[in-house]
Amino acid sequence: MKLDWYFDFISPFAYLQHCQFDRLPKGTEVHYRPILFAGLLNHWGNVGPAEIAPKRIFTYKYCYWLAKKNGIAFKMPPAHPFKSLSALRLAIACDCEPHAIRTIFETIWKLGLDLESEQAIYHLENQLSIGNLAELIADQGVKDRLKENTQQAAERNVFGVPTFSVVQSAPTPTPTPASSYENFWGFDAMDMLLDFMASPDLFNDQQMRRIDNLPEGVQRQRESK
């Protein structure tokens, strides 16, 4: 089965989920899709967990606990949230090669380095065997691909990171409608994804179809800023 994985290095949950890719069935084809989480939030008019003060601290504690529970090395970077744009562009410049993705994640979440520090830049250039990192990520083609990935994610109704996205059935004429994709958001949706991959028909029963069209009972009024 082919999976598209939408992620931003800013997300500790993306790092934790990436560390569990070995749980995916043998033969699974994963296409890495780096996206700008902030762009996705803007699209949906939402805020990130780090923008809600008490939720921000709880999230960090929860991720640290979750990493220890799953035996994953984890160290918070010096500050969070941070600018992940350079890391996303670097991943694309490296053709989203699995070694590059893993190295970038581990630089941030295993070593706990500041991406803009000389130490992090030296480490990345050395581990990825690249020359001038700054020059590499300044390429216009790289920037355009990041924008395209983010736009594609929004068009598929992806609302958060990390998200696995899979076509439910044979693609219809291009462009494939958003309803043709099944999305699995977050680290804790991994078991749900694995069940879907094993038995897709279980996600097409009467209640699942009802949920797809469940109406809103009430909508909260939001203050305009």
Residue 220 in domain: no
Residue 224 in domain: no
Residue 179 has pLDDT above 90, yes or no: no
In order, the DSSP letters of 53-75 are HHHHHHHHHHHHHHHHHTT----
Residue 225 in domain: no
The CATH number for 181's domain is 3.40.30.10
Number of domains observed in the structure of the chain: 1
pLDDT digits (tens, 9 = 90+) for 113-151: 999 999 999 999 999 999 899 999 999 999 999 999 999
Residue 93 in domain: yes
Residue 9 in domain: yes
Residue 169 has pLDDT above 70, yes or no: no
pLDDT of residue 168: 72
Residue 168 in domain: yes
Contact 108, 9 (CB under 8 A): yes
Arithmetic mean of pLDDT, 199-216: 93
**pLDDT confidence bin for 210, thresholds 50/70/90:** very high
Q: Which residue range(s) make up the domain with 37?
A: 2-212
Q: Are strands 163-167 and 29-34 parallel, antiparallel or unpaired?
A: unpaired
Partners of residue 183 on adjacent β-strands: 165
pLDDT of residue 176: 65
Residue 218 in domain: no
pLDDT of residue 153: 98
Contact 116, 83 (CB under 8 A): yes
- Provide, rounded to the nearest whole percent, the portion of the chain with pLDDT above 70: 94
* Mean model confidence pLDDT for the chain: 94
pLDDT of residue 68: 98
> What residue type is assigned to position 163 of the chain?
T
CB atoms within 10 A of CB 146: 21
pLDDT digits (tens, 9 = 90+) for 13-68: 999 999 999 999 999 999 999 999 999 999 999 999 999 999 999 999 999 999 99
- Joined together, the tokens standing for residue 94 give 């490296």
63 burial (CB, 10 Å; 0-12 / 13-18 / 19+) is buried
pLDDT of residue 167: 84
pLDDT of residue 222: 75
Residue 221 in domain: no
Residue with tokens 């736009």: 151
**pLDDT confidence bin for 99, thresholds 50/70/90:** very high
